[in-house]
Amino acid sequence: MSEQVTVRERLQARIEAREAVVGVIGLGYVGLPLAVELARSGYTVLGFDISERTVEGINRGESHIQDVSSEVLSAFTGEGLLSATTDLKRLNECDAISICVPTPLNKTKDPDLSYVAAASDAVLEGLRPGQLVILESTTYPGTTREVVLPVLEKSGLVVGEDFFLSFSPERVDPGNPTWQTRNTPKVLGGVTPACTELGLALYSRVFETMVPVTSAEAAELTKVYENTFRMINIALANELAQACDKLGVDVWEVIEAAATKPFGFMKFTPGPGLGGHCIPLDPHYLSWKMRTLAFKTRMIELASEINSEMPSFVVQKVADCLNDHGKPVRGSRVLVLGVAYKKDIDDLRESPAMDVIRLLQEKGAEVSFHDPFCPLIADDGHTPIQNLPLHSQELSDAVLEASDAVVVVTDHSSVDYARVAEKARLVVDTRGVMREPQQHVVGLSRRAPKSVPALRLAVA
């Protein structure tokens, strides 16, 4: 027992003295910001990625992630605190390892844990006494204990004594200027109490606020629940938009009025569909897990159905509006304004704009796009739209005037929407950025027949 305690105490001492070498597997939207914060906290960080291009760029101090500037990255690479490699055999050099790999869904919306399994196998190859492993990849409750742990136990080492395993879900919100990696509270739960203790010892020196929970399963479910909550409430807002369209009521007016209630209400807004890696996908991890336990997550299934219908709802509105202007969709020139999954970022993952473009193309429209953050939509073998690659068009007066319809899909802050409304023949605004009543501007819902003043609170 004394030798086992010594292993734990030795790791604790290296963490506290910031002598621990920390490995980060996966240097994308989650892994690279984490690696930078670890280096900022004084740890020597070794990043791992399968992409030679990504690794070479990081070692030159060049960031490929919007939330990490090359200036910040190069400061840490220049000091030798952060470096990257494709050689997974070097995991043996690390005292702590954070796994930040993708966890996509397959075509039947079942979890694809192949990246997690591959990372676990790589860790196993070099696993030695005194290492801490933290899984960050979003997944279903039970993954850490039921998938990762059995792989690492093939080493013959004992969890909680020889090595330590925890789950700490990423909470990255790309483009958020207020809540970033360091100041977003960090949830962590270990497979054993000792695993939790050592995970907290490492991350409490990196994150401003730690939120310990009693198990890895509780930490896994926390992440899935957070995004399920958002997905269901967005679905309610999307269904409200469709109801308002039938009723002839402005959905944005209703939401803004409801949001003045100082208690019992949280504002969610409708849009053209869900995007990003988290909200469209994470709830299905829970659905899948519960199906294995003969339990049906009905609200998740219904919310997913509502949200997935929104691109079709948008395209039908475009078709109806073009018809009102005496034009068929086939042969019409449609400009999609914004293709990133949310405003002011360059992330195309799961963006509803891809479905909007695809559906418009299927109806025969000639589709182009403008996005100040996304210069092109590349052919990655998964994007089901035609004529790839598509390049972002300049948002000139000539382009706006030549378009039969402009569809606002992503509401980037840098776009001059007043000019868009002035120059375009027809605008379908899915984000509520054009609130002044105009005959040729149509929102997700039909507006009231009379102009209503902008909502203001009366001040005594």
Both structure tokens of 82:
């952060």
Both structure tokens of 234:
């967005």
Q: Is 144 helix (H, G, I), strand (E, B) or coil?
A: helix
> What is the four-CA torsion angle of 93, 96, 100, 101, rounded to 10 degrees?
50
| Helix axes of 2-16 and 193-203: crossing angle, nearest 10 degrees | 20
How far is the C-alpha of 282 from the C-alpha of 227, rounded, in Å?
7
Both structure tokens of 442:
């149509």
Q: Verify whether residue 278 is a known catalytic residue.
A: yes
How far is the C-alpha of 250 from the C-alpha of 449, rounded, in Å?
10
Residues with Cβ within 8 Å of residue 149, at least 6 apart in sequence: 159, 165, 191
Residue 356, φ and ψ in degrees, nearest 5: -60, -45
- Which residue in 100, 195, 244, 278 is the catalytic one? 278
How far is the C-alpha of 25 from the C-alpha of 121, rounded, in Å?
12
Both structure tokens of 31:
């892994």
Cβ atoms of residues 66 and 345 within 8 Å: yes
- What DSSP character marks residue 145? I
Residue 411, φ and ψ in degrees, nearest 5: -95, 65
List 156's β-bridge partners, or say none: none
How far is the C-alpha of 218 from the C-alpha of 212, rounded, in Å?
10
400 CA to centre of own chain: 31
State the SS3 of 327-370: CCCCCCEEEEECCCCCCCCCCCCCCHHHHHHHHHHHCCCEEEEE
**Counting Cβ atoms within 10 Å, is residue 327 exposed (0-12), middle (13-18) or buried (19+)?**
middle
Q: Is 441 helix (H, G, I), strand (E, B) or coil?
A: strand
The region, left, alpha or beta by phi > 0 then psi within -120 to 50, assigned to residue 136 is alpha
Residues with catalytic function: 278
